Amino acid sequence: MNTLNLAIPFIFGLSFSVNASIVTFDDKSTFLSNTLATAAAPLPNIGLLPGSASNSLTVGDLTYSITAPSFGLFFGTAGSSVGPGPWTTRLAGNQIGISNSENLNVDMINHVSSFGFEFVEPENDPNMNGTFIDSIFEVTLLGNGSFIESFTFNANNDVAAFIGVSSDVAFNRVEIREMTGGPENEFFGQFYTSPVPVPAAVWLFGTGLVGLLGIRKPRS
């Protein structure tokens, strides 16, 4: 497993092109120890959000939303035929369920340096729903709307999986897209993030940005 060097300066999604270096993780313990990430606010059990495919809900510092062809965003199983139990017993707490393809967006109030989430793809587990297709997902990191980096994952089926990433360019939006698959279910559990280290933020807003852009301060 690769390790993360938090001493690398972070850039907050500036408009010019940057070359991001990312490290991906499939083990939660390694991710947490290397990134010092902490758990986001727990997901509530409120069931299906009303409205169209633009549904979104802010929980703590994260805002969750969906993108077409997804059309139903569930937080827990309240009010559904599955309740009062969870979507999957392989993960603790409540989980996010999505109708049709699982296209989930996560926006952060503040820029972060790492992001991770628990995940289950049922094949033989309950609540698989429909003909099983082994799904491949793409995860895209964005900072202030600008592309930073992306990667793909294909989690093992019927297990509690974990997907995590750290980046030396800070980001405040993650887009998770089901690239292959269908309307069969996958479920998202607890999310994790880590803030940009304070010394890096000081570097950005001090003299470091001037040096990065190659701009000289005028002499007095």
Summary mean pLDDT of the chain: 85
The one-letter amino acid code at 38 reads T
H or E segment to which residue 32 belongs = helix 28-35
Instruction: Classify the C-alpha dihedral 119-121-127-130 as positive or negative.
Output: positive
Q: What is the pLDDT of residue 52?
A: 58
SS3 of residue 200 by DSSP: helix
Structure tokens that stand for 204 in this block: 């950005």
pLDDT tens per residue across span 19-48: 689 999 999 999 999 999 999 999 999 999
- If one compares 192 and 4, the residue with the highest pLDDT of the two is 192
Separation between Cα atoms, residue 119 and residue 26, nearest integer Å: 11
Q: Which domains does the chain have, with CATH numbers?
A: 22-213 (2.60.120.1360)
pLDDT tens per residue across span 97-142: 999 999 999 999 999 999 999 999 999 999 999 889 999 999 999 9
Q: Does 122 sit behind a cis peptide bond, omega within 30 degrees of 0 on the bond before it?
A: no
For the CA atoms of 145, 107, 185, 153, what is the dihedral angle to 10 degrees?
60
